Amino acid sequence: MSTRLTMADQGRESAAHALLGRDVDAEQMGLEDYESGLVDVLTNLRHFADRYLIDFHEQLDRSYRHYLAEREYEWEEETG
């Protein structure tokens, strides 16, 4: 099972990749860059949903329910 830290890191990498279109050292990006990257990720997912006739808002609501459940996870990596 992933931890919240792992999921947050994956989101950071996705935002960095969306913003610059390539792998980058996401730790060197500023907060405003992450915000732009997040917007790009969400926009691309909307286009993806349109292309495959997926109800984006329905899936966004579903993801929010997953988020609510997952935010109970610990931030620290699991051991053992």
8 A C-beta contact, residue 61 and residue 68: no
8 A C-beta contact, residue 12 and residue 28: no
Residue percentage of the chain with pLDDT more than 70: 55
User: Which structure tokens are listed for 33?
Assistant: 């860059």
User: Rounded to whole angstroms, how far apart are CA atoms 29 and 12?
Assistant: 9
Q: What is the pLDDT of residues 40-76, one digit of tens each?
A: 888 888 888 888 888 999 999 999 999 899 888 877 6
Provide the pLDDT for residue 39. 83
DSSP 78: P
